[in-house]
Structure 1
């Protein structure tokens, strides 16, 4: 397992992180992903630690805090061997103080997360989404208070548009508040939007990416094929409406390329998709989900080997999309590309 520096910080994280949204899962979004109880969770933590995966990601909004409670029980007695990342800001209810990142929500949310996790500190606290109703200075000053108190070690963001992330970083620099060292983002071969604005920002500002849903919301597991019905056990039956839209033909182009590379490498389709993501600029760790022990072990096989440059080019050609404005200028007009070159080659195949 490779350990990577998390942005411009002194924290090193494993290249794979276990996402725990299935721990104690319930409700229309997380329930179909599979429910992992405390005993199963502890076994998954065992497997992760045996393979060098030491970071576990959760959120207070995952099944009303149940994910944090199950994770806390699973790491009990070995807290010093793990890194815990949790997120605050998602909706816990309908009340005005039950969502967002205002001062009272953050202070109360951290205390409640610490109680559920059974720990005295959070290694990485991430804001689940940008809260347009709370001043940036209020958010950052509260995070500063939490870091100074020792309850939080590092802070990050999640699902921020570029201008909101840059505004927060600039305010942190101006006032001497803790900077976001990570950005948890949706990134996969079927969702490469991160590359246009957020990846260049991360490179410039020292903000690492933690990639969530790296298998395209369950589309790149190897079970979805052109001309075949959706597998009976696929969570897409219940959750497709919550996830990123992907056109069928765009998906099958990617799956066809993954099938070819998987056959060449002797790896699974999912392992190839994850390995590609691990080599992308700014990516510090890929957040894995796992329905059961077998799926977890398979996904852990994504590390310890490399795709060839030709295989990488084939995958990127199959997954490339036409860039939104103003980024298509750099694809089509050389002067714009020389003035502002993209972080990675985003040119679609011809």
Structure 2
């Protein structure tokens, strides 16, 4: 296993992170996973065996059951583990149960600590942007949690580039602890974060945790063509996929996989591990064979030609505002003028 510091911190995390959205029997998440304690224990033990020290959960997953099962599975190995959890989503119909107000944050951190069976959380993440709460209020409350010792570091999830920059600016101005990481969706069929989010977090030296690296299993090749309506995606088709482009991407993945004696899923994860600024890939599994498949991706080294193939077939259309009209490296002004005249 390889390890990287989480952003601009001294906290080292494994390049693969075990996601726990499949933990728990809550019927709301039946289509995603419904692992019980014995299955959870087996997967968590295997994660430790291969050097994974990073575990990601959320208060929302299985309505809190995921945190409870993860805490029990880690047990006495707590100091070996880096536990990340999240808050934002509501459990009840109470007016103040949603969001990142000071009241919500203080309530949810205590509940998560209790379910996890620990007295501190390594990485406490805001699960989504809260447009109803002043960001200063959220950041002030999170800063208090870090100062109290209940939380070691804070992170964000599913923020846009401008939201990340605004949060950093407020924390800088107020002297609050800053977000150290961003958890975002990123895959060969979902590269939108390359426009704003990745440039922002790279500039601010933040870590990046990738969720749904296989687009809910699409990039495994199981759901392409005639099989698109089968399996998990037939019940939970999220994140959305451009099926026409997606099928082409999977074909390239299969070709490259055959060269490496690997699976398409392993190549898709390996591609992410080769991307600049990516700290850790969150892998959520329902079966041990899926987990073993994902673990093997850490050893795959893709050639420049293979990376180019994957980049080309998965390249999203570039919005006008992100087109590069400036000088390229080593290009003179006259070179640029000539280039523009020829287009």
TM value normalised by structure 2: 0.93
Q: Tell me by how many angstroms 1:13 deviates.
A: 0.6
Q: Tell me by how many angstroms 1:217 deviates.
A: 2.0
* Residues 234-291 of structure 1 deviation map (CA, whole Å, 9 limit, x = unaligned): 1111111xx2322221101110110110011111110000000011111100000101
Q: Please state whether the residue corresponding to 2:236 is helix, strand or coil.
A: helix
1:236 is the counterpart of 2:233: yes
Q: Which has the larger radius of gyration?
A: 2
Q: 1:107 to 1:324 in 2, by over 3 A?
A: same
Residues in 1 aligned to 2:112 and 2:218: alpha-carbon distance in whole angstroms = 31
TM value normalised by structure 1: 0.91
Residues in 2 aligned to 1:195 and 1:69: alpha-carbon distance in whole angstroms = 35
Residues in 1 aligned to 2:251 and 2:160: alpha-carbon distance in whole angstroms = 31
Q: Tell me by how many angstroms 1:161 deviates.
A: 1.2
Q: 1:220 to 1:25 in 2, by over 3 A?
A: farther
Alignment of 1:241-260 (within 5 A): 243-260=238-255
Q: 1:25 to 1:184 in 2, by over 3 A?
A: farther
Is contact 1:159–1:184 with CA below 8 Å preserved after alignment?
Answer: yes
Of 271, 274, 283, the residue aligned with 1:288 is: 283
Residues in 2 aligned to 1:92 and 1:245: alpha-carbon distance in whole angstroms = 26
Q: Please state whether the residue corresponding to 1:281 is helix, strand or coil.
A: coil
| Residue 162 (structure 1) aligns with | 161
**Unaligned segments of structure 1, at least 5 residues:** 340-350
RMSD of the TM alignment (CA)? 1.6
Alignment of 1:80-229 (within 5 A): 80-226=79-225, 228-229=226-227
Q: 1:253 to 1:338 in 2, by over 3 A?
A: farther
Residues in 2 aligned to 1:190 and 1:105: alpha-carbon distance in whole angstroms = 34
Q: Please state whether the residue corresponding to 1:17 is helix, strand or coil.
A: strand
Q: 1:25 to 1:4 in 2, by over 3 A?
A: farther
| Residue 49 (structure 2) aligns with | 50
Q: Please state whether the residue corresponding to 2:180 is helix, strand or coil.
A: strand
Residues in 2 aligned to 1:130 and 1:338: alpha-carbon distance in whole angstroms = 40
* Residues 158-215 of structure 1 deviation map (CA, whole Å, 9 limit, x = unaligned): 0001111111100000111111110000000000001000111011111111000000
Is contact 1:25–1:62 with CA below 8 Å preserved after alignment?
Answer: no
Is contact 1:156–1:182 with CA below 8 Å preserved after alignment?
Answer: yes
Is contact 1:186–1:211 with CA below 8 Å preserved after alignment?
Answer: yes
Q: Please state whether the residue corresponding to 2:155 is helix, strand or coil.
A: strand
**Unaligned segments of structure 2, at least 5 residues:** 332-343
Residues in 2 aligned to 1:216 and 1:25: alpha-carbon distance in whole angstroms = 22
Query: How many residue pairs were aligned?
Result: 331
| Residue 301 (structure 1) aligns with | 296
Residues in 2 aligned to 1:93 and 1:134: alpha-carbon distance in whole angstroms = 18
Q: Please state whether the residue corresponding to 1:93 is helix, strand or coil.
A: coil
